[in-house]
Structure 1
Amino acid sequence: MRYVQIDTQSDPMSNSFPTTEKQKDLSRLLVKELKDMGIKDAELDEHGYVYATIPANTDKKVPVICFCSHVDTSSDSSGTGVKPIVHRQYDGGDIALPDDETVVISAKEHPYLASKKGDDIITASGTTLLGADDKAGVAEIMDAANFLITHPEIKHGAIRILFTPDEEVGRGVEKVNMKKLAAQFGYTMDGGELGSLEDENFSADGAKITIHGISAHPGAAKDKLISAIKIAGEIVDGLPKDSLSPETTEDRDGFIHPVRISGTVEKAEIDFIIRDFETSSLEAHETYLRRIMEKVLDRYRGAKASLKITEQYRNMKEVLVDYPQVTANAAEAIRRAGVQPLKMSIRGGTDGSRLSFMGLPCPNIFTGEMALHSKHEYVSIQDMQKAVQTIVYLAQVWEERS
């Protein structure tokens, strides 16, 4: 409840790192709380990363594992002035949020919420997102750390804690010091429904089409003016209407998604995200996009356009397949918490997907956060408690199996 009231929204348009300094407001609090627990090496670096260690208390040689969550919240909805509300013993119906009567979390539209009847549900008040993505994960790691520190009878190896900025803008682990982190395996606490364990995600590229038109005074533009804006519009309109988009795909289907368009008559730009579970399919999607661009451009002699592809992240499964014990240990910990593991795929990415390719195999574990990036965001306290138990059991499993 404390954490979500601190505005930590990241900014996708910023070139600084972190993209907003206010993310460090929460990070500084986390360092203080970790030190108050007795974790002496807790620190915040200049990039906004929090590093800390729960020391080993076993004589066994146990791999160092890391638990990671991100402090920033999405720019899709305001994170300023969050007022969290606990709805005790949720009755299973719609939840009307008091600060905006038009914002109602519908049990019909959110069937997972309806299944949480009897739980204690945290929401925002109707004018902001909640920030459970990923402050639920942050809170769970902090609670588990406190439990392990105060219960030395639970044997475990060294555990590293990592809190990152800027995950929501795809830059969350860009400046992580892997040598300082010094962990062998990791887990992001950034999943959704109870029991979910995600060991694969989209592979992702970014694409930018830059269009150069020809400007002329509109009063004397006949046979001279070529509008980059109109060309951009035709390229977007050339995308399929019933496939290859987020709004028409599910499960393992990929897509090409225009996320930003800007420009003038003389120059316009379109930014896309390209996603697929099969990394090899990204090239096919990019070729398809290029053909649309070239087909439109053929109708505008004199205009020019270019397509630039930028790699963003890859499917963590490509790494985790070589380390089956990482996912297996997590599944066992979830079972010990009294929950059935749900193997799932992420139609998106996490810090763990990039960490996996940086040498830290890192699947994603549930936190309870739901309806992300919106005013409808909610989380069950009971789901969060099960996530804390999972972290504790996971530390034990690694020690027992070493």
Structure 2
Amino acid sequence: MMPIDKEKLIKRFVSYVTIDTESDPESNTTPSTEKQWVLAHKLVEELKEMGMSNVTIDDNAYIMATLPSNVDYDVPAIGFISHFDTTPDFTGKDVKPQIIENYDGKDIILNAEEDIVLSPAYFEDLLQYKGQTIITTDGTTLLGADDKAGITEIMEAMKYLLAHPEIEHGDIKVGFTPDEEIGRGAHKFDVEKFGAEWAYTMDGSQIGELEYENFNAAGAVVTIKGKIVHPGYAKGKMVNSMYIAQDYINSLPRLETPEHTSDREGFFHLYQMNGKVEETKLQYIIRDHDKEHFEARKAIMQQVANDLNEQLEQIAITVDVKDQYFNMREHIEPVMHIVDIAKEAMETLGIQPLIKPIRGGTDGSQLSFMGLPCPNIFAGGHNFHGRYEYVPVESMMKAVQVIVTVAELTAKRYI
């Protein structure tokens, strides 16, 4: 079993998560926030210092590097990709990681002053990691394991391969991207420059996850127009857009929401609402693994608006739907050997592969449609996008070993 330096891995991870890299969906720049450049430049310097070749960073902060082949026969170039931004769903400023050694299976006090507790009574997955080292937040920020755990694992794997030239491998490409959390991580990724035949995003959750299908995704903005007049003289004149918005919300299937669905079940998710009498805007995301169901969901949102407009005898509601990304399964299935290699790597290391659909999206989805087939491998974290996020260090160490083993197995297939 390949030894991974636990303390150095922790030190690297902490150095990344304590840099604020929150992305901003309202920005039109790439990266969407200036602060993402801080970690981007740090990663470039570290890649150069460890001895990686062709280390580049472009004007949009996309980072690429190569670990050259050490065999004298042709092996397809493969890649490993992670993103360095964190979600705007919850603050990533002033992250203060807490390291819990030899976790005892009981409640973890994240913040005594604010009575914030990470409890296995609610988050049952914690019990899988009894006896392990767990890194948590202090309850006031997210942690940033999504996806700085993935970056840490790729960096540690490259360092390990550089230190162990006896492990045979072909060209290995490394890519780090901004703005994945706002759906733009692959938008300006230069697939041709990257030069890999296929790649893996290290962006999954619990140990063993291996995913090659994801949601079809769209965003929808529902705009409701009303009429404002003096409330004392409003009878027969005022039209309160917020009441119409309530009717619209209640007309969509109530149980087809994130909190009522799992596995391959799709949903409508109202994530933001801003309203006054004269105008209300509802912001939705639409998700479904099945393409026909996905198209049907988009049609339902428009039909609900049509029906209410007919009742109101005016065009009060408009719906603007925009596709975001699609299920990468159709681009992975023709090259399933790339999933088989990752599966074999896990099994070689005694990890039970958990092959399941992603209830979300990754850079790998868009990259697959751009010509770079890109399944997703676990990075180890749990409870992303909030104060209860945590990552077991042992899972990160296993992820490093998976990367190394994938590289080794790929080379062996082409002897």
What residue is the counterpart of 1:298 in the other structure? 310
What residue is the counterpart of 1:60 in the other structure? 73
Counterpart secondary structure, 1:115? helix
What residue is the counterpart of 1:158 in the other structure? 171
Q: What CA distance in whole angstroms lies between the structure 1 residues aligned with 2:373 and 2:53?
A: 26
- Where do residues 119-134 of structure 1 align in structure 2 (5 Å cutoff)? 119-134=132-147
What residue is the counterpart of 2:276 in the other structure? 264
Counterpart secondary structure, 1:310? strand
Match among 24, 29, 39 for residue 37 of structure 2: 24
Match among 36, 47, 53 for residue 34 of structure 1: 47
Q: What CA distance in whole angstroms lies between the structure 1 residues aligned with 2:250 and 2:233?
A: 28
What residue is the counterpart of 2:180 in the other structure? 167
The alignment covers a number of residue pairs equal to 401
Q: What CA distance in whole angstroms lies between the structure 1 residues aligned with 2:48 and 2:222?
A: 48
Contact 1:100 1:125 in 2 (8 A): no
What residue is the counterpart of 1:276 in the other structure? 288
Q: What CA distance in whole angstroms lies between the structure 1 residues aligned with 2:269 and 2:314?
A: 27
Stretch moving more, 68-77 or 222-231: 222-231
- The CA deviation at 1:99 is 5.9
- The CA deviation at 1:151 is 1.2
What residue is the counterpart of 1:228 in the other structure? 241
Contact 2:111 2:117 in 1 (8 A): no
Contact 2:146 2:381 in 1 (8 A): yes
Q: Deviations over 1:267-290 (max 9, x none)?
A: 332221111110111111122222
What residue is the counterpart of 1:383 in the other structure? 395
Residue 322 of structure 2 corresponds to residue 339 of structure 1: no
Contact 1:99 1:126 in 2 (8 A): no
Q: Deviations over 1:20-48 (max 9, x none)?
A: 11111111111010000011421221112
RMSD between aligned alpha carbons? 1.5
Q: What CA distance in whole angstroms lies between the structure 2 residues aligned with 1:350 and 1:384?
A: 19
Match among 372, 380, 405 for residue 393 of structure 1: 405
Stretch moving more, 19-28 or 380-389: 19-28
What residue is the counterpart of 1:374 in the other structure? 386
Q: Structure 1 unaligned runs (5+)?
A: none
Match among 218, 221, 225 for residue 208 of structure 1: 221
Q: What CA distance in whole angstroms lies between the structure 1 residues aligned with 2:327 and 2:288?
A: 9
The AA in structure 1 aligned to 2:212 is D
- The CA deviation at 1:130 is 0.8
Q: What CA distance in whole angstroms lies between the structure 2 residues aligned with 1:187 and 1:36?
A: 24
Q: What CA distance in whole angstroms lies between the structure 2 residues aligned with 1:109 and 1:150?
A: 42
The AA in structure 1 aligned to 2:206 is E
Q: Percent identity?
A: 46
Match among 110, 122, 125 for residue 112 of structure 1: 125
The AA in structure 2 aligned to 1:358 is M
Residue 329 of structure 2 corresponds to residue 311 of structure 1: no
Residue 394 of structure 2 corresponds to residue 362 of structure 1: no
Q: What CA distance in whole angstroms lies between the structure 2 residues aligned with 1:209 and 1:197?
A: 35
What residue is the counterpart of 2:342 in the other structure? 330
Stretch moving more, 267-276 or 83-92: 267-276
The AA in structure 2 aligned to 1:398 is T
- The CA deviation at 1:227 is 2.6
Q: What CA distance in whole angstroms lies between the structure 2 residues aligned with 1:119 and 1:94?
A: 14
Contact 1:99 1:125 in 2 (8 A): no
Contact 2:77 2:198 in 1 (8 A): yes
What residue is the counterpart of 1:14 in the other structure? 27
